[in-house]
């Protein structure tokens, strides 16, 4: 797990299960107002990663890609919410603001697939994850933090990964 710089973490997942476990680690840290931006081509493992993230966060609901619905909301037993936005079908970044990004961030963590499509309207402080298809089983996950709060996620992921996968 090479360190690109102190604000980045490069991780090679050897299986979908390993990607889900990394997502679970991150999901366990998420709170209201946290934003996780996912970038990667079709088949890069974005939804697989979000499945683990939602599980680690404590979701009661199954995770599916919101490509056609645009936004999925997942719940925990305490009724808190996690929002899963897919911007693939949006026409423009301003269209994303019409969906109520600020309201989502005020109510729970927000995970965005195809985040690069709406980057201009996103908060500057965020965690960005670039997912890259290597082969049928392997994916490269490159985490980049913008802001001290999101840097804590990378520091914690770095610590937890050294003993695990």
Would you list the domain boundaries of the chain? 8-163
Record the pTM: 0.89
Q: Which of 24-33, 82-91, 126-135 has the lowest mean pLDDT?
A: 82-91
pLDDT reported for residue 98: 87
Q: Decide which of 4 and 123 is more confident.
A: 123
Confidence of residue 4 (pLDDT cuts 50, 70, 90): low
pLDDT tens digit sequence for 32-41 = 999 999 999 9
**CA pair distance 113, 137, nearest whole angstrom:** 20
**CA pair distance 110, 55, nearest whole angstrom:** 14
pLDDT reported for residue 1: 41
Pick the CATH number of 8-163 from 3.40.50.620, 3.40.50.300, 3.40.390.10, 3.30.230.70: 3.40.50.300
pLDDT tens digit sequence for 91-129 = 888 888 888 899 999 999 999 999 999 999 999 999 999
Average pLDDT, the chain: 90
Complete DSSP assignment for the chain: ---SSTTEEEEEESSHHHHHHHHHHHHTT--TT-EEEEE--TTSSHHHHHHHHHHHHT--SPP---TTTSEEEEE-TT--EEEEEE-TT-S-HHHHHHT-HHHHHHHS-EEEETGGGGGGGS-SSEEEEEEEE-SSS-EEEEEEEESHHHHHHHHHHHHHHHH--
């Amino acid at each position: 797990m090479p360190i690109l710089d102190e604000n980045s973490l490069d991780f090679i997942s050897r299986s979908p299960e390993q990607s889900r476990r990394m997502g679970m680690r991150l999901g366990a840290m998420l709170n209201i107002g946290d934003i996780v931006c996912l970038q990667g081509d079709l088949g890069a493992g974005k939804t697989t990663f979000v499945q683990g993230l939602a599980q680690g966060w404590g979701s009661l609901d199954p995770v599916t890609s919101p490509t056609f619905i645009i936004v999925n909301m997942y719940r925990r037993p305490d009724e808190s919410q996690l929002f899963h936005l897919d911007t693939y079908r949006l026409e423009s970044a301003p269209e994303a603001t019409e969906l109520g990004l600020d309201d989502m961030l005020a109510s729970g963590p927000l995970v965005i697939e195809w985040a690069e499509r709406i980057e201009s309207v996103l908060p500057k402080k965020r965690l960005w994850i670039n997912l890259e298809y290597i082969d049928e089983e392997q994916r490269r996950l490159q985490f980049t933090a913008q802001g001290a709060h999101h840097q804590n996620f990378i520091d914690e992921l770095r610590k937890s990964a050294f003993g695990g996968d």
